Structure 1
Amino acid sequence: MFLFVANETIFRKCVDPTKQGELDWTKRYNIIKGITRGLQYLHYDSHPTIIHRDLKASNILLDADMNPKIADFGTARSFGADQSKANTKTIVGTYGYMSPEYAMRGHFSLKSDVYSFGILVLEIVSGKMNSSFYHIDDADSNLVIHAWRLWRNESPLRLVDLAMGESYQNHEAFRCIHIALLCIQEDPVDRPTLPAIILMLTDSITTLPLPRTPRFCLSSMGDFSSQYTHNSISDAWIGDSDLP
């Protein structure tokens, strides 16, 4: 069965300079909320529970009304009613979107998709794609590090895509960045659940906890489509002294 979508993917819409202007803030905000509802269905309303494991910009399709559709379930895994997490020796997915516990140890859960969602939100807000790698001499190429620097310097709205002009709402954009940073916390326990994210997005008076420094970035990675070994991945731990 083939699904026709009139407006390609958010990858094309957000990154292509000739198309970025087609997504004003209202459209981007609605896309973020639509992806959240889609994940809510997969995680809580679907039976069995489905973990996508490869949530990324090129797997979010847009229909004629710019409604997002989560696509490509080739790497998805289903969970039974009494199951909340699992392990694998074969790591599949896309560099730059993988949660640290999945990339390093093959542990995946609902919170693995939450991490990927956080990266997606940063990309939709900024119009930039997250780099798969971290290099200390080129930290700005990593969207997570760049977003955290702006957050810590109390200027997170500098992350917002200039292609939107003045269309964005400061408080909504700020809140989306805040939620994204909570989603990419190192410890899965510290990441919000999908019901909590929906509440954060729809109820502006809900108080959000402060995010911690996103300490994990991938610096070198082996072929995740092959058999996983710990030695195929090198991790860079980013402390406060490393982020001016």
Structure 2
Amino acid sequence: MLTEGFCLQGIERLLIYEFLPNASLDHFIFDPIKRVHLNWEKRYKIIGGIARGLLYLHEDSRLRIIHRDLKASNILLDDEMNPKISDFGMARLFVVDQTQGNTSRIVGTYGYMAPEYAMRGHFSVKSDVFSFGVLVLEIVTGKKNSFRNGNDIEHLMSHAWRNWREGTAQDMIDPVLSSGSATEMMRCIHIGLLCVQENVAERPTMASVVLMLSSSSLTLQIPSQPAFFMNSSTYQSDLSSSMGHNSRVTESSLSESETMIPLSQNEVSITELYPR
């Protein structure tokens, strides 16, 4: 949470934020020049900071907060490269014993959205975990959630899973990370894959993720096939005709109570404003 204060005057509603001189994470990890300033030590620190921030939102805050739009451009960096989760315009509050919410207003950023949210409007702490997993894979690889591979567009989760199964996951690591703990990098890829699993129940909680990051002796489960992987049941039945290259949810993939809602392209959030 970055809010330092607010101002109300007439119809004006202003939030005052902490000044963060290093802008957002995407300005570094996706920039061919600036990315060299983020060595592995800094990236690992950023991953851990984001994980602890989400853990606070999910478990330690007075009310449980589901962010719903976690992505690289919503992670701001202070002068010491400490991460700050920002942009809570799409966040939802849960009461203490609430575990899941449903909405017909599907807003967010395609590529970071969990399948159960993108296609059915179901969101929970596990949908934030999914977004975190995508973000971790981006930080380690330096690639966006979809990227050009030769003449084709490849999805990062498919790329990560294929390399993991073939035993070549080390080839995914950002080439500028020539120094640093290869064990930590591989462990983060492993954790990222655990977070983007298709089955909601198989994804870890953020409490488990923080423990995985802080304890190298903790044995990690073997990840299963991620959501949106080519040939996965979710991809074939729900996404091939709806999202694909159009980045759009069609009426056939929505419940009767939902309407056709366009999803964002180029990692820009789609927001539908309504009173809360």
TM-score higher than 0.5? yes
The residue number in structure 1 matching 2:51 is: 36
Count residues in correspondence.
227
2:196–2:227 CA contact under 8 A, matched in 1? no
1:106-157 C-alpha deviation (Å, 9 max, x unpaired): 000000000000000000001111129x9xx835x21111111110110111
1:15 and 2:34 matched: no
Offset at residue 215 of structure 1 (A):
4.2
1:221 and 2:259 matched: no
Q: 5+ unaligned residues in a row in structure 2: which ranges?
A: 1-15, 229-234, 236-242, 251-256, 264-276
2:38 partner letter: L
Shifted more, 203-212 versus 1-10: the winner is 1-10
TM-score normalised by the chain length of structure 1: 0.87
Offset at residue 231 of structure 1 (A):
9.5
1:105–1:230 CA contact under 8 A, matched in 2? no
Change (3 A) 1:211 1:98: same
1:91 and 2:106 matched: yes
The residue number in structure 2 matching 1:154 is: 167
Q: 5+ unaligned residues in a row in structure 1: which ranges?
A: 234-244
Shifted more, 90-99 versus 213-222: the winner is 213-222
1:25-78 C-alpha deviation (Å, 9 max, x unpaired): 000000000000000100001111100000000000000111000000000000
- What is the SS of the residue equivalent to 1:163? coil
* Larger helix share, 1 or 2: 1
Q: 1 CA distance for matches of 2:103 and 2:23?
A: 32
Offset at residue 229 of structure 1 (A):
3.7
1:75-114 C-alpha deviation (Å, 9 max, x unpaired): 0000001201010000010010000000010000000000
Q: 1 CA distance for matches of 2:162 and 2:33?
A: 28
The residue number in structure 2 matching 1:206 is: 218
TM-score normalised by the chain length of structure 2: 0.78
Change (3 A) 1:21 1:70: same
For 1:197, which of 192, 195, 209 is the aligned residue?
Answer: 209
Change (3 A) 1:23 1:104: same
1:64 and 2:90 matched: no
1:138 and 2:152 matched: yes
Q: 1 CA distance for matches of 2:172 and 2:247?
A: 27
The residue number in structure 1 matching 2:11 is: none
The residue number in structure 2 matching 1:242 is: none
